[in-house]
Chains A and B, each alone.
Chain A
């Protein structure tokens, strides 16, 4: 235990020493480091996708626009720059309904719609997952704990440099009258991949 604490204290001091020296020598600035961290924590992540989904749930006209022309609909929102531009320009949202369930897969992680979904989970890049998701999506979804009724069609979309798909999940019951903020809080990246449903967690 003592050894573990020592390692922690040492590592923290080591990183502070590294950063301080690099800054003193004018090699980097603290702001450059802050900006890199901010990029991952603020500009790009599943919280952006969750806001888009929440807005679509509360605003049927926006939802229609989102499905018809995803990049322009996203551009209407006050999201960090780049969301609807260079990175998001080929984005396409597909809606889950009682009739159809959508699942997205991707071969290249660089093609994952990061600005909206954040960093992909480890299984996403797995070639076995991808091959099986296309061949037997119901079985793969079942392994994720998601059973799709036989009456619902399953569509699998392969994200590529041309089109980056993301799923507009079904709004869960019991969320009537919720604000966009409340709704965004329950949308998970897995739901926007089609690997899970959005559920209202019991508090």
Chain B
């Protein structure tokens, strides 16, 4: 009897178990994936939420480490494998054609610059070459003489040719004239070889070989920052020159494609490429003949091997870091909490401070391809100032970045030599002031509270944002909400990023957009953005003549600043330049998010800040 009951029970249990399995698989997976996050929460007031956010912010920051770089590197030992990741396969090993970030990550460690820039001292320092600037004020001429180090060699992992090929002035002169200076090769550095003359014409900056180690750049007029525009990386002449001679353009473009035997790719930099497995990984190994040494005379870098795993998905990169198979991870805001909540982690999250760049909003002022009514609003300075007053930067910092961002109130980035804390945005969040500014140009609320212009047109426009940019979409929604409270309708339109780029650079059919630019690190950087004839003068590109007086003045100040050596005079120029942009607001910067980097604790000499990033040259494996 007992046996029968038991068997029957078993028979009933089996289909039940299978049915349960059907539910169990996804439920187990879902439960595991959710990671045991908490249950429901009681409703809280807005004030309580703000207080919680503030305390959460300080709690988060207290669990991160601030360790800015600059000095104090300990002497280390060679060894260890640093595992990093890239999202795509490298497209080439040819430094001339390597453009995308992943390819540059792999190729850059094979090369080095003539001069280095000390971001903390704000000064250029010798690197592959020392330099001397000679100024002839009478003749309005300037010459920069570079002297290459005597211990520089192009070497390969296969040691072919044996002992390497000595680097001479001919390498630099060839690269400057025949590669960067060949218009048909369409190199990004081509335009930098010319400067504008006082008469409006253009003149070439010539290079001259002085001897095997010395070469000079001759400027046709005095410029304020000659090292910036002549500092460059260069490739091996002994490979590129015959390639160009024999096959011309195709010869140099075809050099070092990804099917090349990587052990034949020469390096003058910190690493060699020693392996490339398509779709899997790229391996770099330290170049023992790299010239840079530590205080103890040990050649740098300390890291023996760098493995770049090719991981197409950013989320997988994050999981790899959590799994422990990746050594550093640039932390996204949404990952921060998770990384900091791990008990006894084997990594440290470094707080690098405010990022130098910032996303911005821009209102189209290009009369072509635009609704004339909308153009009539956007082209008014008061309108843009009002929009800036409705852009609630503190709210964006709180709600989108959970307080881990600061409002962007300056035009130049902090390390810019002409940054001045007193020159700041006047049109910060102030809805009342926005209403007054709009009223000055005849835009007032109607009986229903909708803002209308003098002709009775309701103020409404579309904000375009890259669809994959979730944070950007959130920011746009907050801006639209603030605008709605002021009686203005803004439609947020997430679109494909390529489409957004096409709108900005080709069709110009947009009203408002948000995107990001690099930091205004150098006063003279961003000529393609700030000058009215620039292709990325977002709000009205490629102007034949400046469309407005203020744009003409910006062009003038930009040019004057580039050619003014005297710091005090240059500062007066750049002060006006910053003030004008912050007054006219062709772009409205939003916030500077804090920057975080997680690095495994097995590495020493880890310093991180937004000025210099993480300098892996000095990073070494801790001794157990």
A binds B: no
Instruction: Please report A residues at the B interface, Cβ cutoff 8 Å.
Output: none
Instruction: Please report B residues at the A interface, Cβ cutoff 8 Å.
Output: none
